[in-house]
Amino acid sequence: MWDEALKLAGQDPDYHRKDLEEAITNGAYPKWKFGIQTIAEADLDKFEFDPLDATKLWPEEDFPVRYIGTMELNRVVDEYFPQTEQVAFCTSHVVPGIGFSDDPLLQGRNFSYFDTQLSRLGINWQELPINRPVCPFMNNNRDGQGRHTITKGTVNYWPNRFEATKPATVAEGAYYDYPMKVEGMKQRLLSKKFSEHFNQAQLFYNSLSDHEKWHTVKALAFELDHCDDEVVYNRMCERLADIDLELAQKVAELVGAPIPQKAGRPNHGKKAKNLSQMDFLPETPTIATRRVAIIIADGFDATAYYGVKAALAAAGALPFTIAPKRSPIKSSEGKEVKPDHNLEGQRSTMFDSIFVPGGAQSVETLRKNGRALHWVREAFGHLKAIGATGEAVSFIKDACALPAMTFSESGDVVESYGVVTASQTTPQSFKEKISMAADAKDFVDAYTFQISQHKNWKREMDGKFPDFTR
Amino acid sequence: MWDEALKLAGQDPDYHRKDLEEAITNGAYPKWKFGIQTIAEADLDKFEFDPLDATKLWPEEDFPVRYIGTMELNRVVDEYFPQTEQVAFCTSHVVPGIGFSDDPLLQGRNFSYFDTQLSRLGINWQELPINRPVCPFMNNNRDGQGRHTITKGTVNYWPNRFEATKPATVAEGAYYDYPMKVEGMKQRLLSKKFSEHFNQAQLFYNSLSDHEKWHTVKALAFELDHCDDEVVYNRMCERLADIDLELAQKVAELVGAPIPQKAGRPNHGKKAKNLSQMDFLPETPTIATRRVAIIIADGFDATAYYGVKAALAAAGALPFTIAPKRSPIKSSEGKEVKPDHNLEGQRSTMFDSIFVPGGAQSVETLRKNGRALHWVREAFGHLKAIGATGEAVSFIKDACALPAMTFSESGDVVESYGVVTASQTTPQSFKEKISMAADAKDFVDAYTFQISQHKNWKREMDGKFPDFTR
Amino acid sequence: MWDEALKLAGQDPDYHRKDLEEAITNGAYPKWKFGIQTIAEADLDKFEFDPLDATKLWPEEDFPVRYIGTMELNRVVDEYFPQTEQVAFCTSHVVPGIGFSDDPLLQGRNFSYFDTQLSRLGINWQELPINRPVCPFMNNNRDGQGRHTITKGTVNYWPNRFEATKPATVAEGAYYDYPMKVEGMKQRLLSKKFSEHFNQAQLFYNSLSDHEKWHTVKALAFELDHCDDEVVYNRMCERLADIDLELAQKVAELVGAPIPQKAGRPNHGKKAKNLSQMDFLPETPTIATRRVAIIIADGFDATAYYGVKAALAAAGALPFTIAPKRSPIKSSEGKEVKPDHNLEGQRSTMFDSIFVPGGAQSVETLRKNGRALHWVREAFGHLKAIGATGEAVSFIKDACALPAMTFSESGDVVESYGVVTASQTTPQSFKEKISMAADAKDFVDAYTFQISQHKNWKREMDGKFPDFTR
Amino acid sequence: MWDEALKLAGQDPDYHRKDLEEAITNGAYPKWKFGIQTIAEADLDKFEFDPLDATKLWPEEDFPVRYIGTMELNRVVDEYFPQTEQVAFCTSHVVPGIGFSDDPLLQGRNFSYFDTQLSRLGINWQELPINRPVCPFMNNNRDGQGRHTITKGTVNYWPNRFEATKPATVAEGAYYDYPMKVEGMKQRLLSKKFSEHFNQAQLFYNSLSDHEKWHTVKALAFELDHCDDEVVYNRMCERLADIDLELAQKVAELVGAPIPQKAGRPNHGKKAKNLSQMDFLPETPTIATRRVAIIIADGFDATAYYGVKAALAAAGALPFTIAPKRSPIKSSEGKEVKPDHNLEGQRSTMFDSIFVPGGAQSVETLRKNGRALHWVREAFGHLKAIGATGEAVSFIKDACALPAMTFSESGDVVESYGVVTASQTTPQSFKEKISMAADAKDFVDAYTFQISQHKNWKREMDGKFPDFTR
């Protein structure tokens, strides 16, 4: 959510870094499927866009992704500077079998990446442990500032009569350049297809889910709201009308530009897959690595607290206990818990969900705590799953104060726009073995399912809530 | 406010820069009194602290500030890079009459600043227009990377038989080093007084206002809350007990350290002036350069809107109109206003105060707008002045929902914790000539006085509000 | 001469620089004809060599030089560092009408020259006075270390709606790239013609004069004499046999390689003009800027001294008086001359010719001075013109001690291998108005003609002298 | 010799480097006695000069050298760049027990050497193999461009609660600064004794041997001869008269300045030992590592050639065979020798001595070779030992052509000014076991003794030869 991002950038600018580190040290290694898209040289001119235009995407319908591996981050660095700050990527360093297309962006990068590494790290950047080739003998460089390697021997050239430093042949696996065919006039021009700017913009916009389209409207409106020059935002809205009329109209209204009355060009209506984040939901619901804040105060319901905490942990989520202070908090039965943080030390933005257990005294304390109230309202506004049991149900109800929502009033578990409540619970309500489902009868099953959905987009999109959530 | 800073750092990292630029381009030039503190060489050892310890302050009671000028920023740069990015400060460059004390931090800086300019800007950094001496003949350097000046002549040394390039004598105003007396053993040591770490910490803490002390507690608690190693926060709280027991106890409770039971050393109870920001309030109230958000929707009360806006502008404040959209908004009388921003494009953090005029339709729209509600609540939480008239009074009342507060219910102007309301207004209620006062009967007078107070610390400190504000 | 170069490199490493500076400050501005060779794109493949091979020359017979101007050096710099050390040449900076061929050396230089200037002088090297374009508005760069220019205005991009910073069109004279036709396979290869290494080597060797061929032999023999690895010098001599058998045989004998018995390939016998320095002799003899050492001691013949000195100066040569000491030297008539240098302070290598006037006492002194003897012998060995009159004739004769030479024994002027002598002279023998000629009867005419010939190659080549001169 | 240096600088600028490398690879490791001079702090002001003035020497009479070791060069580098080019000396890096005096030159160097290494090699120059401390754990640096070391662990500061990275104490051998006593006014001044410029100049000049004094005259005259501004050389000669009147007079005459008639100040007449190179002659004569050129042509006397060559090699000298060509040379008995170099490929400057064996045909060939003649004359002029046997004696005699010398005319071995000749030799004349002596009867003994004397200073100094040698 944009509002979440705006705040988090100030509240914890390292949030994403910490997220990675937390996942890796907890053994939940981040993984990505590694796929490539290829095109036969002969087909290069067959498309309505130029495949060498780096601003264009290759629709997966026409260019299926071929998955060739998995990328997994499973170790953190020993020391930040030499192993992270000094990492040097270089597009011009490739292995045999990979060549360079005529993509002008790639060609430019082949020079600029190398130059960058030189000015960042010096001429011997390839000697640094983190950048060194796995095979230490592959680097024929000599000399230059900061040179560590001492190369014995009298020749560093080829051919030489000692047959020393003989380079590998192509037959032995050496790199060779692909002999591409070229024909035409050498001029400083771009392919004409580079000038077709709207087809793919339409394709992209059409392929988004409803809330992604809405986020696109809001993002454009946010940035253009900061522009004081009406020529700029008026023209921008005219250009948006070349993509999609509705998009342009919504943005224009928010930013104060004349509302376009007709599309600059018809929307071709085509979509492509895997352009919406919605195309990437996990096949079975999971809450692994989700950070859940459990908010308590003295007198909290220990049964609900321990029950939900254990269930979350068993499913791979990371429960954190948050209270008005980090000094020990007593449960209704007198048992003490030391919170992980106090309410002021963190913000709801840093968590994927919040759970508030019952306990009359605890809930009463939180109800009077402006910051606790804000945690609930902010998490609700950011479309996060919220869970509450016992006395906490009415706290959530009052905090949200939205007539469209329903809450549990008895032993039933009620799910309403991602908020899962159970007014009455027994120790049996909490179990470690969970079975997430949208319509689960069990509190833990229902609540964790909502967490697994990441965001409750309905809350934002079905029009029943104030504009806060819009 | 800490929460404000946390958010603003993400919402607009350039906020302070823009603030300066806005003030300068509006002619409200930022100014500072420029004063110095001096000490006779003979008195150097007479104080319980070492005046050469850069971590110590020189209490104004003992070392009165002598004001020697005013610094005023009255122009913005023509181009950012050559005039701002390349500015080079250098502690070792001084004019005749200024010398260097034995302050170890200064001595270190005399080397590091020069080295820094060399590596940032090159050896000829003093030739750059922004760094050039006013007198172009004062620089005897020659050669070096990027040299622009071409110096004719055959000698660049002195003495020479042509009597060329003769340096100024001390009698002519040349720089000379102050002949300081030294006596003792040359060793790599710091003065023993450098090791006295607590007297001035107590002095500083004692000199703070109540809310500054509370902010100190909260700032310490915020940071220590992020520390997972109990050795660290326990020890830190022990050290705080060396400064002030109450401070240590409050922090310890919030961060979960053992609550210290006695002070590590007695607080000497001394204070010094001008250490609290409260010592620097302007003598007569002013709202010049304060940014005020006027929040409206279709159907707003034009009389109140224009009246308050004119009054603010007349007093040098900067009113901004904010609405659900930036497209034109109609007043109750049908006149259109084009807002400066939409509600999503800005946040309350970017303004010093908010004002909501009445108008039944407008207030009804805002009441249903979650973001509008949040503007009011957040501004209230950040202790800002809030003003409302007509139907907007009840909106503010409902948004804050705090029983301790009172609101205008008739024609009376009511001020309660910095929130100024007037349920019924007439065109006469709004006037351009204002007379700010705490107990003013007039809405504009009362409201602008509250703006002039910057923050309503009572709201935070008197204990009548939920912990949100604490 | 190689021996001259070997010595001069140690005796005065700045000799050539001083030579330029001496010529410029004396108003004898060095000039070069500025010519270009061009080739029609269509003819690129018509030659047996590849015109894009930077190691090949374009024979003037096939590619006539078109002279388009004169380059003249007529000013010395005001300050060395900013105006000489910081000069930046850049092959990639060209004016409209000039484009880049596919010469691989040029293409490489287009990158490396620019990179070099960046690392030598910084990113703003084009701002330096010596490198600045004549038109100060031609540089659209902004920012970067050491930026001096402050550019006002809000846009630095094109297109923009203010129509500011509009670039020139091709019609207005803007640069555009020549649309060269390309067709083929893009591969990392050189043209096959690049591998033909011997045709032009033969052409070059054939085009040399006899003494240039002999110098080529000696230069090769000198360098290979320093190589202790027989594989290297043996193979080198085999390669030379691919160029010219006689060349290879002479070198092989001197360096101890097996003497090649047959040519590796037949010498095609072709020559090209303007490859020998002999093709560039001035059309009419001149001695302008030639440095002539006049060696004297107490008792020198003032008539000859002043006569020759005046004649040399009148013809634009630079006479220098050299004596055993720089203290005043008395002529036979008692008049004093202050020498420019003593004999030890200079060497014959630094002069183009030496002249020794008579005077019994002076010549007797020089005859006993080992250094004076060495000046004569070394100048003779380096093939320079030598002049002597009166008693000095026998001194030169004894110093050279070579039976093949003839010397003046009476009033006749005798020229023998560049040594011009006149045993008996009268004041009429010396005149300012000279008429240089090989067979002149007049001493000054004959001597200055020999100076104008630069070197007496016959001395080296006709076999009548010991191997010293060979 | 100055003339030798002038030529060698051009003929082989790497001569000294090769000399070191030749000695090391031949096992004749260069060695130096390593001594220090110290002074008690209390004595610092007791001398007429300031011991902290880096332009003054500490006379060994007053400050005896204490020899604490030997420096030996016994290995050449594996690769030049990383092991030689990157070597970084740093005066500020010292071991415990060494401190810094107030020598202003040293204090300046402590900054500039460190800065130099930073700009040459980058901030991590101490990580480079050649600069790395023997103990790899002694460097607490972290980060910075080109960092190779990866330091694990969580703390890099001290004190810390893990007791990690604890620095050594002084008791354990850590470095500590000497607590020097200071007292006075801190001003930018030099000690007044720094202004006494002549006492030590006199001491130095007085301590030289005769030929060193003469070389001083010639060196000054050579440089001042190049100065065209009489103010400069006149003043310089006046200053020389402040040192020694005779010195000043000799220089003034050669450079054309007024001859000083009285000393600027009296010469105190004092001398100090070990200021003349003559104080450092080896105790027993040696020719180890001396380079001897044996010059031959076809028909050379094989007995003399092999005999002398074997004797030289046995004594550790390095004999090189030089001939008109490097192709095989036949001895009078028909045996072939392959020369190391031809006569043009080297110069006499590169050798310590020359030997010419007899053989009628060989000597006749050399006699007609101008370059061979020059080898003899130049070696004679540079005061080197020369040896000749058989027919070669007359060749040397004719080449030198100096009446003051005597040569062997029969079987006697004659030594005259370092030239050793034996007209008639038998195989018994040459032996491997030599016994060098000034008055040896045996050719090899006499000749090698002359080589061991390095230079024959008498040849330069006794006035019997032409000024060449002066």
Q: Mind telling me how many Å the CA of B126 is from chain C's nearest CA?
A: 10
Tell me which chain C residues have a C-beta less than 8 angstroms from the C-beta of A177. 186-188
Q: Mind telling me how many Å the CA of D275 is from chain B's nearest CA?
A: 32
CA distances from B308 to B285, B329, B347, C39, C309 (A): 18, 17, 21, 80, 100
Candidate from D218, D254, D344 with C-beta closest to C218 = D344
Query: Kind of pairing, strands D66-72 and D31-36?
Result: antiparallel
Report the C-alpha gap between C290 and C293 in whole angstroms: 10
Query: Kind of pairing, strands C31-36 and D413-416?
Result: unpaired
Strand partners, D351: none
Q: What is the CA radius of gyration of chain A?
A: 29
Helix H or strand E encompassing B420: strand B419-422
Contact of D9 with chain C, judged by CB distance below 8 Å, is answered with yes
Reported confidence tier of residue A428, pLDDT bands at 50, 70, 90: confident
Contact of D369 with chain C, judged by CB distance below 8 Å, is answered with yes
Q: What is the DSSP letter of B331?
A: B
Contact of D156 with chain A, judged by CB distance below 8 Å, is answered with no
Give me the pLDDT at residue D142, please. 86
Tell me which chain A residues have a C-beta less than 8 angstroms from the C-beta of D78. 150-152
Give me the pLDDT at residue D211, please. 95
Give me the pLDDT at residue D469, please. 39
CA distances from C454 to A25, A379, C375 (A): 83, 95, 17
**Which residue is closest to A155 within chain D, CA to CA?**
D79
> Looking at chain C, which subunits does it touch, using at least 3 CB pairs closer than 8 Å as the criterion?
A, B, D
Identify the three-state secondary structure at position D191: coil
Residue with tokens 């007093």: B315
User: Could you give phi then psi for residue A459, rounded to 5 degrees?
Assistant: -55, -35
Give me the pLDDT at residue C469, please. 40
Residue type (1 letter), C11: Q
**Best B76, B81, B131, B149 residue to mutate vs chain C (most C CBs within 10 Å):** B81
Contact of C325 with chain D, judged by CB distance below 8 Å, is answered with yes
Q: How many CB atoms lie within 10 A of CB D48?
A: 9
Nearest residue to D231 (alpha-carbon basis) of D249, D257, D253:
D257
Percent of all residues in chain C with a pLDDT value above 90, rounded to a whole number = 78
Give me the pLDDT at residue A470, please. 36
Q: Mind telling me how many Å the CA of B82 is from chain D's nearest CA?
A: 25
Look at residue A153 and tell me whether its pLDDT is greater than 90. Answer: no
Strand partners, C185: A181
Whether D146 sits inside 8 A of A124 (CB atoms) is: yes
Contact of A369 with chain B, judged by CB distance below 8 Å, is answered with yes
Candidate from A82, A127, A146 with C-beta closest to D150 = A82
Crossing angle of the two packed helices D210-225 and D245-255, in degrees rounded to 10: 40
Give me the pLDDT at residue D470, please. 36
Tell me which chain A residues have a C-beta less than 8 angstroms from the C-beta of B345. 221-222, 225-226
Give me the pLDDT at residue B468, please. 46
Whether B124 sits inside 8 A of C147 (CB atoms) is: no
Which stretches does DSSP call E strand in D280-427? Answer: 291-295, 318-323, 329-330, 336-337, 341-342, 353-356, 385-389, 413-416, 419-422
For the segment C270-283, the average pLDDT, to the nearest whole number, is 93
For the segment A333-337, the average pLDDT, to the nearest whole number, is 95
Q: H/E/C letters for each residue in D51-89? A: CCCCCCCCCCCCCCCEEEEEEECCCCCCCHHHHHHCCCC
CA C19 to chain centroid = 11
Candidate from D81, D85, D146 with C-beta closest to A121 = D146
CB B258 within 8 A of CB B237: yes
Report the C-alpha gap between D244 and D265 in whole angstroms: 8
CB A45 within 8 A of CB A73: no
CB C431 within 8 A of CB C185: no
pLDDT in tens, B233-286: 999 999 999 999 999 999 999 999 999 999 999 999 999 999 999 999 888 999
Contact of C429 with chain D, judged by CB distance below 8 Å, is answered with no
Contact of B188 with chain D, judged by CB distance below 8 Å, is answered with yes
Tell me which chain C residues have a C-beta less than 8 angstroms from the C-beta of A185. 179-182
Nearest residue to B384 (alpha-carbon basis) of B392, B393, B375, B395:
B375
CB D212 within 8 A of CB D220: no
Look at residue A41 and tell me whether its pLDDT is greater than 90. Answer: no
The DSSP code sequence of A116-140 is: HHHHHH-TTGGGSTTTS-SSTT---
Residues of chain A numbered 165-184 and touching chain C (CB < 8 Å): 176-177, 179-184
**Which residue is closest to D259 within chain C, CA to CA?**
C327
Tell me which chain C residues have a C-beta less than 8 angstroms from the C-beta of D345. 221-222, 225-226
For the segment B292-321, the average pLDDT, to the nearest whole number, is 96
Strand partners, B386: B354, B419
> Looking at chain D, which subunits does it touch, using at least 3 CB pairs closer than 8 Å as the criterion?
A, B, C
Strand partners, A291: A318
Whether C146 sits inside 8 A of B79 (CB atoms) is: no
pLDDT in tens, C97-140: 899 998 999 999 999 999 999 999 999 999 999 998 887 665 67
Give me the pLDDT at residue D466, please. 60
For the segment A395-402, the average pLDDT, to the nearest whole number, is 91
CA distances from A342 to A372, B227, C50 (A): 10, 12, 79
Give me the pLDDT at residue C158, please. 86
Give me the pLDDT at residue C433, please. 84
Strand partners, D181: B185
Look at residue B224 and tell me whether its pLDDT is greater than 90. Answer: yes
| Mean pLDDT of chain D, nearest integer | 92
Tokens standing for residue C343: 């004999």
| A29: Cα within 13 Å, side-chain hemisphere | 10
The DSSP code sequence of D266-303 is: -------TT-SGGGG--SS---TT-EEEEE--TTB-HH
User: Could you give phi then psi for residue A341, rounded to 5 degrees?
Assistant: -150, 160
| Mean pLDDT of chain B, nearest integer | 92
* Interface predicted TM-score of the whole assembly (ipTM), two decimals: 0.91
Range name among A154-158, B437-441, C147-151 with the lowest pLDDT average? A154-158
Helix H or strand E encompassing A322: strand A318-323
pLDDT in tens, C377-412: 999 999 999 999 999 999 999 998 888 899 999 889
For the segment C463-469, the average pLDDT, to the nearest whole number, is 61
pLDDT in tens, C148-182: 988 888 788 888 888 888 888 889 988 888 888 88
pLDDT in tens, D289-332: 999 999 999 999 999 999 999 999 999 999 999 999 999 999 99
- By CB neighbour count within 10 A (0-12 exposed, 13-18 middle, 19+ buried), where does A140 fall? exposed
CB D356 within 8 A of CB D385: no
Whether A186 sits inside 8 A of C184 (CB atoms) is: no
pLDDT in tens, C78-94: 999 999 999 999 999 99
pLDDT in tens, D173-205: 888 888 888 888 888 888 899 999 999 999 999
Look at residue D464 and tell me whether its pLDDT is greater than 80. Answer: no
Percent of all residues in chain C with a pLDDT value above 70, rounded to a whole number = 98
Report the C-alpha gap between C386 and C384 in whole angstroms: 6
D134 vs C453, higher pLDDT: C453
Range name among A248-257, A457-466, B361-370 with the lowest pLDDT average? A457-466
CB A155 within 8 A of CB A14: no
Give me the pLDDT at residue C467, please. 56
**Which residue is closest to D162 within chain B, CA to CA?**
B231
Tell me which chain A residues have a C-beta less than 8 angstroms from the C-beta of B374. 381, 468
Report the C-alpha gap between B207 and B59 in whole angstroms: 11
**Which residue is closest to A398 within chain B, CA to CA?**
B401
For the segment D52-76, the average pLDDT, to the nearest whole number, is 95
| Mean pLDDT of chain C, nearest integer | 92
pLDDT in tens, B320-370: 999 999 999 999 999 999 999 999 999 999 999 999 999 999 999 999 998
Q: Mind telling me how many Å the CA of B167 is from chain C's nearest CA?
A: 21
Candidate from A5, A225, A326 with C-beta closest to B341 = A225
CB C127 within 8 A of CB C147: yes
Q: Mind telling me how many Å the CA of A254 is from chain B's nearest CA?
A: 4
Candidate from D179, D184, D231 with C-beta closest to B185 = D179
For the segment A85-110, the average pLDDT, to the nearest whole number, is 93
For the segment C45-49, the average pLDDT, to the nearest whole number, is 92
Identify the three-state secondary structure at position B62: coil
pLDDT in tens, C68-81: 999 999 999 999 99
Tell me which chain A residues have a C-beta less than 8 angstroms from the C-beta of B227. none
**Measured CA angle at C342 (ends C336, C343), to 5 deg:** 125
pLDDT in tens, D136-168: 665 667 899 889 988 888 788 888 888 888 888
Sort residue D301 into left (φ over 0), alpha (ψ -120 to 50) or beta: beta
Give me the pLDDT at residue B432, please. 75
Reported confidence tier of residue A139, pLDDT bands at 50, 70, 90: low
Report the C-alpha gap between C253 and A399 in whole angstroms: 105
Whether B466 sits inside 8 A of A324 (CB atoms) is: no
Letter string b/e over residues C86-110, b meaning 16 or more CB atoms within 10 A of that residue's CB: bebeebeeeeeeeeeeeeeeeeebb
**First-to-last CA distance in chain C?**
10
Give me the pLDDT at residue A159, please. 87
